């Protein structure tokens, strides 16, 4: 006969004891019919068996004073592997009456049983065998297949509701001894096998329903999280749309301000042009009046000359004529100087106006550049909003697909529920008195399904609302596009106004050039007058021949006298003419000094 491995025998015995203790605990709890306390004997035996299973093959750890061999080390690893176990570990550490690691391990097992998650916690430990190898030997129960079987058996304990008081209980000094008399068979046990088989089937069905409930709860929580994320994204989009609307309103106000400023500038320029026109007309009228005065003076002098020629015909008359002519020349010079000063003042005013118009045009150009930059930023924001709307549409499609999947899963669950109801109806004739509580649980499940259906309807309503918001966003984007078109039209109008302003500036520059030319001509006349001062006119008797053609003066050849140089020419030789704005006909000019010639009567002309 082959010798059996003692460690394998120990594992088999512990597995059989775990099966017996778990089975006895479930049967007694179902017959007991209420929540279990810490004084319940089968529950105490279950904890003792679990301690023996966890202690099997545990490595001895050296400390400062002695060797330590406890199960608290591997149980403390669960906190790192399973985040939901952090609450149990923290509450076990905070208990005031526990002093030894074994007491903490016993408290941890009781809290895990009350949470109905002992199987989940131990399954995490069994999966991480490389970490368990630090605490257990290679032949330990937790390192072999028997540990996985015990974890599977522990899933059945989720049927039990336990209410254990851990705080006041002395867990450090308890003695872990297994009472085998509880697990010995009797005649009553043989007669109740059929009942046990039925109870096991019902427990399996209950476990299946609980797992379905867990899965449905997880899907509902995930749907809640997705709905929250969608609501946050919608709120962000609404805020961005409000900001974009405010920016558009600001741009519209700036456009209105620019239009009002353009109209004000046009009105100012029109007023300036009208004022300049009025000034020029006033100057022309004054010049005409001065010319009329000169003509009158000339006529009076001519009359006096005729009278003096008839009366005296002496040198005194000529001297008087020369004195009067000198006075006339001085008056004319003063008038010309006044005209020149007034024209200079108008030129200075026109230059200032030109500078102001240029400054205003520069400000308008800068504002246009700023508005164009703002429009570029708004176009970028619009493109971002369109991208976000596309993302929202994609997310909506994904949500619809997930809802369809959830509906399919719910239909399957409903079909399975119908199958379970049919099975319960077939077995209800024999088990109506014993399983009335199970029917109540089924009613609770139906209410949960109704709640889930209502939740699905609310989700569908939320999806319809989100679709409406997306359509509203699309309409707002269309409005933004229309506003963009209006802004382009305003830009075109602004360009037209710019062209009009440039034409006005060119006209003002032409006026300034003409005024500068007239000023230069006046300065040339002044210099000629200064050069020819001091010269004396020829006497009328001596001037009998033209200085240029040397022919006698007659009716056809009349005398023309220069005011400045005193030379006398005939009308045939003095052909140089100068147009004046005040006179409709051009004026004859001297060939030497370019001064205005005066027609003068001679003694041989009646």
Which has more pLDDT, 166 or 74?
Answer: 74
The last residue of a domain, from among 132, 149, 183:
183
Inside any domain, residue 527: no
Average confidence (pLDDT) over 567-573: 70
The last residue of a domain, from among 161, 183, 205:
183
- Indicate the helix (H) or strand (E) that contains 28: helix 6-32
Q: Residue 8: CB partners within 8 Å, gap ≥ 6?
A: 139
pLDDT at 135 over 60: yes
The whole domain housing 149 covers 6-183
Express as a percent the part of the chain with pLDDT over 70.
83
Which CA distances in Å does 477 have to 232, 236, 246, 379, 395?
A: 21, 16, 14, 11, 20
Which two structure tokens, joined as six digits, stand for 242?
Answer: 């409000």
Task: State whether residue 572 is helix, strand or coil.
Answer: coil
Class of residue 438 by CB neighbours under 10 A (exposed 0-12, middle 13-18, buried 19+): middle
Average confidence (pLDDT) over 291-312: 80
CATH of the domain at 49: 1.20.58.900
Which two structure tokens, joined as six digits, stand for 200?
Answer: 């096991």
pLDDT recorded at residue 149 = 92
- Indicate the helix (H) or strand (E) that contains 508: helix 436-531
Q: Residue 174: CB partners within 8 Å, gap ≥ 6?
A: 106
Rg (CA), the chain: 60
Inside any domain, residue 169: yes
- Indicate the helix (H) or strand (E) that contains 163: none
CATH of the domain at 588: 3.30.40.10
Average confidence (pLDDT) over 19-30: 86
pLDDT recorded at residue 602 = 39
Inside any domain, residue 576: yes
Taking only the tens place, the pLDDT of each residue in 427-449 is: 767 667 666 777 787 888 888 88
CA–CA gap between residue 552 and residue 319 (Å, rounded) = 24
Average confidence (pLDDT) over 169-184: 74
Inside any domain, residue 178: yes
| Closest of 520, 592, 542, 604 to residue 563, by C-alpha | 592
Inside any domain, residue 368: no
Number of separate domains in the chain: 2
CA–CA gap between residue 206 and residue 158 (Å, rounded) = 10
Q: How confident is the model at residue 249 (pLDDT cuts 50, 70, 90)?
A: very high
Inside any domain, residue 259: no
Inside any domain, residue 97: yes
Taking only the tens place, the pLDDT of each residue in 387-439 is: 877 887 787 788 778 878 877 877 887 787 788 777 766 776 766 766 677 77
| Closest of 327, 324, 326, 334 to residue 303, by C-alpha | 324
Inside any domain, residue 59: yes
The last residue of a domain, from among 162, 183, 204:
183
Chain CA centroid to CA 29, Å: 64
Q: How confident is the model at residue 123 (pLDDT cuts 50, 70, 90)?
A: very high
Which has more pLDDT, 192 or 351?
Answer: 351
């Amino acid at each position: 006969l082959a010798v059996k491995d003692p460690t394998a025998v120990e594992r088999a015995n512990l597995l059989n004891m775990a099966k017996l203790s778990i089975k006895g605990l479930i049967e007694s709890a179902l017959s007991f019919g209420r929540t279990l306390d810490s004084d319940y004997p089968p529950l105490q035996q279950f904890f003792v068996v679990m301690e023996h299973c966890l202690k099997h093959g545990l490595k001895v750890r050296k400390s400062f004073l002695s060797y330590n061999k406890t199960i608290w080390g591997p149980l403390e690893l669960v906190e790192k592997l399973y985040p939901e176990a952090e609450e149990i570990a923290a509450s076990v550490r905070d208990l005031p009456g526990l002093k030894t690691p074994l007491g903490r391990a016993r408290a941890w097992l009781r809290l895990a049983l009350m949470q109905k998650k002992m199987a989940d916690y131990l399954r995490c430990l069994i999966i991480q065998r490389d970490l368990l190898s630090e605490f257990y030997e290679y032949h330990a129960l937790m390192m072999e297949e028997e540990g996985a079987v015990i974890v599977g058996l522990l899933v059945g304990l989720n049927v039990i509701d336990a209410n254990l008081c851990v705080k006041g209980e002395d867990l450090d000094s308890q003695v872990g001894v297994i009472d085998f008399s509880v697990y010995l068979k009797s005649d009553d046990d043989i007669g109740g096998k059929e009942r046990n088989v039925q109870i096991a089937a019902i427990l399996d069905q209950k476990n299946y329903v609980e797992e379905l409930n867990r899965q449905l709860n997880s899907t509902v929580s995930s749907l809640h999280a997705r709905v929250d994320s969608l609501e946050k994204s919608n709120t962000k989009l609404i805020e961005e749309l409000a900001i974009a609307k405010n920016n558009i309103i600001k741009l519209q106000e700036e456009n209105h301000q620019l239009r009002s400023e353009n109209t004000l500038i046009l009105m100012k320029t029109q007023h300036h042009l009208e004022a300049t026109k009025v000034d020029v007309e006033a100057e022309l009228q004054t010049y005409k009046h001065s010319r009329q005065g000169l003509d009158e003076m000339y006529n009076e002098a001519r009359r006096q000359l005729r009278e003096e020629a008839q009366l005296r015909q002496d040198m005194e008359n000529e001297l008087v004529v020369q004195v009067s002519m000198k006075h006339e020349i001085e008056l004319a010079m003063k008038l010309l100087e006044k005209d020149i000063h007034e024209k200079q003042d108008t030129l200075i005013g026109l230059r200032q106006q030109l500078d102001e118009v240029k400054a205003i045009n520069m400000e308008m150009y800068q504002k246009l550049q700023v508005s164009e930059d703002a429009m570029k930023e708004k176009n970028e924001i619009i493109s971002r909003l369109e991208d976000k709307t596309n993302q929202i549409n994609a997310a909506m499609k994904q949500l619809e697909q997930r809802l369809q999947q959830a509906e399919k899963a719910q239909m399957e669950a409903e079909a399975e529920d119908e199958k379970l109801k049919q099975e319960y109806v077939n077995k209800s004739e024999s088990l109506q008195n014993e399983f009335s509580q199970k029917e109540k649980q089924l009613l609770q499940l139906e209410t949960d399904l109704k709640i889930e259906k209502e939740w699905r309807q609310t989700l569908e309503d939320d999806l319809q609302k989100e679709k409406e918001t997306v359509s509203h966003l699309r309409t707002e984007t269309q409005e933004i596009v229309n506003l963009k078109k209006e802004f382009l039209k305003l830009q075109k109008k602004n360009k037209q106004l710019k062209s009009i302003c440039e034409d006005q500036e060119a006209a003002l520059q032409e006026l300034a050039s003409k005024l500068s030319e007239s000023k230069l001509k006046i300065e040339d006349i002044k210099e000629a007058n200064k050069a020819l001062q001091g010269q004396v006119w020829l006497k009328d008797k001596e001037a009998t021949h033209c200085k240029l053609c040397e022919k006698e003066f007659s009716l056809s050849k009349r005398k023309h006298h220069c005011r400045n140089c005193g030379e006398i020419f005939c009308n045939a030789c003095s052909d140089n003419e100068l147009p004046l704005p005040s006179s409709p006909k051009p004026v004859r000019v001297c060939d030497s000094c370019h001064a205005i010639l005066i027609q003068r009567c001679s003694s041989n002309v009646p």
